[in-house]
Each structure stands twice: as structure tokens, then as C-alpha cells.
Structure 1
């Protein structure tokens, strides 16, 4: 019997609330128990993937270091809403390695193809 699949959906910008960081922490926790989840970034969540983030001005650490460490935990692909990218005037070139823009049909397939979905 295979382990249940988990999709983590993050919709929030990286700073200002703890939800974005909670999604990353949940991903690391799942991976630590040999259950690497799938991550899907929707809406303002795509802003978490931008390079050059400096959160020192608001007294917190950048999420970028955590994102860069995800492949070490078996999380190699990040799915990114292509409409949200366009809405923020971003392209795939603005994303880290392993980030894959997906359209609405692919998002629906991701949602339908997992046993558990956690939204952040």
C-alpha cells in the first residue's frame, strides 16, 4: 500500500502573515517523514518564489533559503499558477529552478490527483 499523497496549496504573499511560512514548514515536516508533498503556488503565493527577497527590514528571515533547500528533502518541482504569474507581470524566468508554471487544467489535475489537500 502506498502512502497517501499530499498537496500543499499556498495562496499568500511571503510576509505579513504566517501562512506562507507555515506551508513551507509543513512541506519540510512531511518530507522529514518520507512523505514529500507536492507544492502548488496560487494567487499572491507566487510572490514567495521571487529572487532577492530581503525580509530583514521587517525583522524576519527570508523564505528563499527554505525554498532553496526543498530539493534536499525530495521536493524537486514547484507548481506555479501561470495566470497568477501573468497577473503579477512575472514569467518563468523569474522563478527558481524546479518551478513549473501550470494552467487551469493542470491545476485541476493536481487537485484531483492527491489524497489530501492542505491550504495555506
Structure 2
């Protein structure tokens, strides 16, 4: 069991390293200019097919990055919706759509590769 836990931790760390690296490379160069092989190499993976092994296609990798950020954004939105009054106006409802993304991006610090990669895509 201890061996499985250690392997699971290594797999999780590898996935996070790949996600972090892909996010940065996509922000710097654009999604279409970066190959899975480049992501694997830049993430320090000896196996150039590590991205494919952990995520599948580049599209799947991009989806994983988006999911990684969508979950905390949705949590902020749920909190805001729970706090909104029943007689809220349109402005309040629009704020529930926009502010969660802004709060999440602000929490990431600088540089925020996710915001930069979304802009370049």
C-alpha cells in the first residue's frame, strides 16, 4: 500500500508539473505553437510522451488546464449566489458572472499564466 501511495503522489506531481509548464508555454507562445513534446521536455520529463500518457491529446491538456481553473471559479460563484438577495438587480447577477473569474485570477499572483494563455489562444 505504501508503494501505491508513493506512486500516486509521483503521478500527481508529474501531472501538476506538466499543467504548470503547459500553462506557461501556452501563455508565452500560444497553444498552437507548442507541441506536447515541448511541454514534456520543459516539464523535465525524460519521456517525451509524458503529456500523452497523462492527458491524451493537446486538446485534452487544454481542457485539463481550463478545468483546473474552472473549479475554484465555480466555488466563488456558488458563494456569491448564496449571498445574493432575492430582489437583486441585473447588475448583481452580472457581477456573479464576472467577479468570480477576476477574484480567481487575482488570487493566482503575478504572472498569471492562465490569463495570458487565454488571451493568446
**TM-score (normalised: structure 2):** 0.24
Structure number with greater Rg is 2
Larger proportion of helix = 2
More strand by share: 1
TM-score where L is the length of structure 1? 0.24
